[in-house]
Homo-oligomer: A and B are copies of this chain.
């Protein structure tokens, strides 16, 4: 729980009161390699925080598992579309190793928003940061070449390369594993 509270304070400084309320609503979840946190078709009812370990999100695009997202320590995780709209998820979320999460039900979080303006503020601020990250990924996907995308990753998220097989990384960048391999060979 310590990591979680520490990280949360990097978004917005909560009162002791709010911190206690938070603590009361989050429970620990543990996953092992290849366990699914969410399976497509399910409705995602929880928001998670990664205490330790790593996850990936992937679509099944005509039989292929296509990774589009990674989560590591101090990342929030959910199937955002499913969580917000409470409809069936189209993607899967899977542990890439032994992973420890803090979990909160959507109903609990909504209740926390009502009781503590500052918690809703914290989430509002978190949304802003996540939105900016997604914008960057969109721009990369739309306007950059394969090599440019790899170099961006090298500069801004090198930790991904240390913890994830290259097949996943390639899909994450929107290129094939073969192309990624050739790009890396030229350095």
Contact = CB atoms under 8 A, between A and B. Distances in A.
A123 B124 CA distance: 8
A139 B113 CA distance: 30
A68 B142 contact: yes
Interface of A (DSSP majority class):
helix
Interface residues of A, number: 28
Nearest to A132: B81
A30 interface: no
Q: How many copies does the complex hold?
A: 2
Contacts of A80: 128, 131-132, 135
Contacts of A117: 117, 120
Given A124-B123, A124-B124, A131 B132 contact: no
A20 B81 CA distance: 32
Interface of A: 59, 61, 66, 68, 80-81, 84-85, 113, 117, 120-121, 123-124, 127-128, 130-132, 134-135, 137-139, 141-143, 174
Top 9 A-B pairs ranked by shortest CB distance?
Answer: A141-B141, A142-B174, A141-B142, A127-B127, A117-B117, A124-B124, A138-B138, A84-B128, A134-B134
